[in-house]
Structure 1
Amino acid sequence: MSKWFKRAVTSLAALLLLLGIIGGTGSGLLTAVTGSTLAIAEGAESTATTGGGQTIVMGTSPDYPPYENTDAKNGGKVVGLDIDIAQAIADKLGYKLEISGMDFSGLIAALQTERVDFVMSAMSVTEERKQSIDFSDSYYAARNTIVSKKDSGLTTMASLEGKNVGVQLGSTQEEAVAGMESTSKITKLDKIPNLIQEIKAGRMDAAIVEDAVAWGYTDANPDLQFTILDPNPNDLGYAIAFPKGSELTAQFNAELQKMKDNGELQAIIDKWFGALGQDDSKKVSKSGLDFSILDGYVGYIFKGIFVTLLFTFVSALFGFIWGAILSLFKISNIAPLRWFATAYTSVFRGTPLLLQLFLIYYATPQLFNYDIPALLAAGLAFGLNSAAYLSETIRGGIMAVDKGQREAAIALGIPYKTMMFSIILPQAVKNILPALVNECVALVKESSLVSVIGVADLMRRASVVQAATFRSFEALLLIGAIYYVLVLLLTSLAGLLERRMRRSD
Structure 2
Amino acid sequence: MMNRNMNMAFVPLLVFALLLLLFGPAAPFMRTEAVQAANEPAKAAKKLVMGTSPDYPPYESVDAKGSGDIVGMDIDIAKTITAELGYELEIASMDFNGLIAALQSGRVDFVMSGMSATEERRQSVTFSDGYYTARNTIVSRKEAAYETAGQLSGKLVGAQLGSVQEQFAETLEGAKLKKLNKISDLVQELNSGRMDAAIVEDAVAIEMVRANPGLALSYLPAAEKDNGYAIAFPKQSELVDEFNRVLGQMKEDGRLQQIVAKWFDQKDAAPTERPAGLNIDFRVLNGYVPYILKGVYVTLLFTLVSALLGLCWGAILSLFKISGVKPLQWFATAYTSVFRGTPLLVQLTLIYYATPQLLGYDIPALLAAGLAFGLNSAAYLSETIRGGIMAVDKGQREAAIALGVPYRKMMTRIIFPQALRHILPALVNEFVALLKESSLVSVIGVTELMRRADVVRASTFRAFEALLLVAAIYYVLVLVLTSLARMLERRLRRSD
What code does the residue aligned with 1:267 have?
Answer: Q
CA deviations on 1:162-197 (whole Å, 9 max, x unpaired) are 22211111111221122459x443211111001101
Structure 1 segment 271-350 matched on structure 2, within 5 A? 271-278=262-269, 283-286=272-275, 287-350=278-341
> 2:331 & 2:12 partners in 1: Cα distance?
25
Q: Secondary structure at the match of 2:199?
A: strand
Structure 1 segment 33-52 matched on structure 2, within 5 A? none
Partners of 2:15 and 2:309 within 8 A in 1 = no
With over 3 angstroms needed to count, the CA separation of the structure-2 counterparts of 1:53 and 1:368, relative to structure 1, is closer
Could you tell me which residue of structure 2 aligns to residue 174 of structure 1? Answer: 166
Partners of 1:166 and 1:195 within 8 A in 2 = yes
What code does the residue aligned with 2:338 have?
Answer: V
What code does the residue aligned with 1:115 have?
Answer: R
What is the deviation of 1:90?
0.7
Aligned with residue 494 of structure 1, among 485, 488, 495: 485
Q: Secondary structure at the match of 1:72?
A: coil
> 2:13 & 2:27 partners in 1: Cα distance?
22
Could you tell me which residue of structure 1 aligns to residue 105 of structure 2? Answer: 113
What is the deviation of 1:432?
0.7
With over 3 angstroms needed to count, the CA separation of the structure-2 counterparts of 1:27 and 1:223, relative to structure 1, is farther
Aligned with residue 235 of structure 2, among 213, 219, 244: 244
Could you tell me which residue of structure 1 aligns to residue 72 of structure 2? Answer: 80
Partners of 1:397 and 1:429 within 8 A in 2 = yes
Could you tell me which residue of structure 2 aligns to residue 480 of structure 1? Answer: 471
What is the deviation of 1:135?
1.3
> 2:316 & 2:122 partners in 1: Cα distance?
48
Q: Secondary structure at the match of 1:292?
A: helix
> 1:289 & 1:94 partners in 2: Cα distance?
47
Aligned with residue 258 of structure 1, among 249, 265, 268: 249
> 1:481 & 1:438 partners in 2: Cα distance?
19
> 2:234 & 2:418 partners in 1: Cα distance?
55
Structure 1 segment 114-133 matched on structure 2, within 5 A? 114-133=106-125
Aligned with residue 428 of structure 1, among 419, 430, 448: 419
> 1:337 & 1:168 partners in 2: Cα distance?
48
What is the deviation of 1:143?
0.9
**TM-score, normalising length from structure 1?**
0.89
State the identity %: 66
Greater Cα offset, 249-258 or 151-160 = 151-160
Could you tell me which residue of structure 2 aligns to residue 367 of structure 1? Answer: 358
Could you tell me which residue of structure 2 aligns to residue 24 of structure 1? Answer: 24
> 1:497 & 1:13 partners in 2: Cα distance?
28
Structure 1 segment 62-77 matched on structure 2, within 5 A? 62-77=54-69
Greater Cα offset, 167-176 or 148-157 = 148-157
CA deviations on 1:303-328 (whole Å, 9 max, x unpaired) are 11101110111111111111111111
What is the deviation of 1:156?
2.1
CA deviations on 1:388-436 (whole Å, 9 max, x unpaired) are 1111111111111111122222222223222222221222122111111
> 2:254 & 2:194 partners in 1: Cα distance?
44
With over 3 angstroms needed to count, the CA separation of the structure-2 counterparts of 1:180 and 1:341, relative to structure 1, is farther
> 2:381 & 2:23 partners in 1: Cα distance?
24
> 1:493 & 1:348 partners in 2: Cα distance?
29
What is the deviation of 1:378?
0.8
> 2:411 & 2:486 partners in 1: Cα distance?
25
What code does the residue aligned with 2:272 have?
Answer: K
What code does the residue aligned with 2:117 have?
Answer: V
Could you tell me which residue of structure 2 aligns to residue 31 of structure 1? Answer: none
When the two chains are superposed, the root-mean-square deviation of aligned CA atoms in Å is 2.2
CA deviations on 1:174-233 (whole Å, 9 max, x unpaired) are 21122459x443211111001101110111111111110011111111110111112222
> 2:337 & 2:11 partners in 1: Cα distance?
30
What is the deviation of 1:81?
0.4
Unaligned runs of 5+ in 1: 1-9, 29-51
Greater Cα offset, 241-250 or 134-143 = 241-250
Greater Cα offset, 371-380 or 283-292 = 283-292
CA deviations on 1:260-314 (whole Å, 9 max, x unpaired) are 1222111111111112233x6x724333221112111111111111011101111
> 2:132 matched to 1:143?
no
What is the deviation of 1:15?
6.8
What is the deviation of 1:27?
8.2
Partners of 2:48 and 2:90 within 8 A in 1 = yes
Partners of 1:26 and 1:373 within 8 A in 2 = no
> 1:13 & 1:112 partners in 2: Cα distance?
32
**TM-score, normalising length from structure 2?**
0.90
What code does the residue aligned with 1:82 have?
Answer: D
What is the deviation of 1:53?
8.2
What code does the residue aligned with 2:352 have?
Answer: Y
Q: Secondary structure at the match of 1:306?
A: helix
Structure 1 segment 149-188 matched on structure 2, within 5 A? 149-180=141-172, 183-188=174-179
> 2:179 & 2:416 partners in 1: Cα distance?
49
With over 3 angstroms needed to count, the CA separation of the structure-2 counterparts of 1:436 and 1:255, relative to structure 1, is same
Aligned with residue 232 of structure 1, among 210, 223, 227: 223
Partners of 1:147 and 1:227 within 8 A in 2 = yes
> 2:390 & 2:120 partners in 1: Cα distance?
56
Q: How many residue pairs are counted as aligned between the two chains?
A: 471
> 1:58 & 1:229 partners in 2: Cα distance?
31
